[in-house]
Homo-oligomer: A and B are copies of this chain.
């Protein structure tokens, strides 16, 4: 099938052709065995491109589980705030297509903004509650943009499985809730965060960091691992945990804290006392670059 498609119509006809090939047994199983193949399982890896090892780990996981792997590459304007980095967000489509193919992606769906948002676009998908804290508080409208575009990608690509990374923990939980609430027939699969050797979570935005900022960036992971150790060791007071994380982050001279929160993993609301599984999530700015990371941890006993 075609490796790069730019419109929903082109994607649908490519998928149709791929399904037909699958159903006739070409490429994979064969009707000569007397075994009819089931319907092709479609895996979707939604990205904003400028691919790193995190994205590629999702693609390889999809490749191992699906018959057809599609990766969307779309820098979605509606999830950026007016003061954010939509214009400067890094892009390299040629490299993305090459490394995606290497990771087993069958087709890259790379629509234009005009393809995704027709004149008069007026429809929005909102997940309430789960989007009020953490990045939702720092980035008003961000999750509305994410859930709307992911709904559209689900509708165009009709995936059976969709793959998201754990670095964006809130995003993953929001999308899983959305898929359940809207009966979207897709399994939302959340995969581990990929990290540099010093612990920094991989992110396309790491490309913004100056060498001095890059040297300080691992403080975010270090602070969160310390929080994990503290809670595993019996600390039950989220204020103590947050204060320790903030204190550690203050050691990086270029870092400023956007948020540090301890929230329940079920509703993403702040908790008064750590009694069950919690998400410790933090966002910092290093110079002009916003970085996020998190740990999920349960208290002992």
Contacts and interface: CB of A to CB of B under 8 A. Distances in A.
Interface of A: 8, 12, 118, 120-130, 147-148, 151-152, 155-156, 158, 177-178, 180-185, 267
A258 to B, nearest CB: 24
Nearest to A148: B182
A14 B158 CA distance: 20
A137 to B, nearest CB: 16
Contact of A123 (B121, B122, B127): B127
18 contacts: A8-B183, A12-B185, A118-B180, A118-B181, A120-B177, A121-B181, A122-B128, A122-B130, A122-B177, A122-B181, A123-B126, A123-B127, A123-B128, A124-B126, A125-B125, A125-B182, A155-B184, A155-B185
Contacts of A125: 123-126, 182
Nearest to A266: B120
Contacts of A126: 123-126
Number of copies: 2
Contacts of A130: 122
A122 B267 CA distance: 10
Contact of A152 (B12, B127, B158, B182): B182
Contacts of A147: 123
Given A121-B181, A122-B130, 17 more contacts: A8-B183, A12-B185, A118-B180, A120-B177, A120-B267, A122-B127, A122-B181, A123-B126, A123-B147, A123-B178, A123-B181, A123-B182, A124-B125, A125-B182, A152-B183, A156-B183, A158-B185
Contacts of A158: 185
B129 A155 contact: no
Contacts of A120: 177, 267
